[in-house]
């Protein structure tokens, strides 16, 4: 089973992907996590992508494709994967289709999450993430706060705020997303695998609600 998570930063892709991964026993691969880990470890890849991420820009296609394809070849993804944050451009989507076809696989579902822009900015500014790489549980100080300030409910590790989770960078990320990534929605819609959900406090539907609906649908 190969699933793609689509949506602007802050829509809850990570939350939905994490719940689906646990319920369906399918690993999640996040391009952002791969890049941030490389930055933290100060690898050559990390040095190369740090500038792009700090400005809220997309990492160039050639570099992103190389990293993701290497990860998809690893044995733990042999039976499926949930891709969070990839592909982000039509070129990446076309290359992914080609890569999967060469391995006798295809995209089964592209989940697109939509949230009002002002709500996205508020979410990201208030987002906190467990620093434990084995946990990475996501919290929101207003919508889903931890029981103890600054501490993960699940594993007891400290919570952190990403350096790029601020209003200025977020606005740039959203502008970049809608300009460069929006065409992917049309790409997967034409293939007949797109499924769009609105995620917003205004309609009382959050990522956990979407994940529950999708789990029931995919287990049928």
> Is residue 163 among the annotated active site residues?
no
- List 13, 71, 95, 128, catalytic entry: 13
- List 95, 127, 128, 136, catalytic entry: 127
CA atoms within 13 A on the CB side of 59: 26
- List 36, 95, 123, 173, catalytic entry: 173
> Is residue 117 among the annotated active site residues?
no
- List 37, 105, 162, 205, catalytic entry: 162
> Is residue 98 among the annotated active site residues?
no
> Is residue 95 among the annotated active site residues?
no
Provide the token pair at 53: 């991420």
Quote the CA–CA distance of 193 and 79 in Å, as a whole number: 19
Provide the token pair at 203: 């309609």
- List 36, 71, 88, 95, catalytic entry: 88
> Is residue 173 among the annotated active site residues?
yes
Provide the token pair at 116: 């009002």
Nearest to 14 by CA among 40, 22, 125: 22
Distance of CA 109 to the CA centre of its chain: 15
Active site residues: 13, 88, 127, 162, 173
């Amino acid at each position: 089973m190969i699933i793609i998570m689509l949506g602007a930063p802050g829509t809850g892709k990570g939350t939905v992907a994490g719940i689906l991964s646990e319920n369906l026993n399918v690993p999640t691969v996040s391009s952002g996590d791969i890049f941030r880990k490389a930055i933290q470890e100060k690898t050559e890849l990390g040095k190369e992508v740090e500038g792009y991420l700090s400005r809220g820009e997309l990492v160039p296609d050639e570099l992103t494709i190389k990293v993701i394809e290497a990860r998809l070849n690893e044995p733990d993804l042999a039976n499926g994967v949930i891709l969070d944050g990839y592909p982000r451009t039509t070129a990446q989507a076309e290359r992914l289709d080609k890569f999967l076809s060469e391995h006798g696989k295809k995209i089964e579902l592209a989940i697109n999450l939509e949230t009002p822009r002002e709500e996205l900015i508020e979410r990201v500014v208030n987002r906190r993430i467990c620093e434990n790489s084995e946990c990475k549980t996501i919290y929101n100080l207003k919508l889903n706060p931890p029981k103890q300030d600054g501490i993960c409910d699940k594993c007891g590790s400290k919570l952190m705020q990403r350096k790029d989770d601020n209003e200025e960078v977020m606005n740039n990320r959203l502008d970049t997303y809608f300009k460069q990534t929006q065409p992917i929605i049309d790409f997967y819609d034409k293939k007949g695998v797109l499924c769009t959900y609105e995620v917003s406090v205004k309609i009382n539907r959050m990522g956990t609600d979407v994940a529950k609906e999708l789990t029931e649908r995919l287990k049928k």
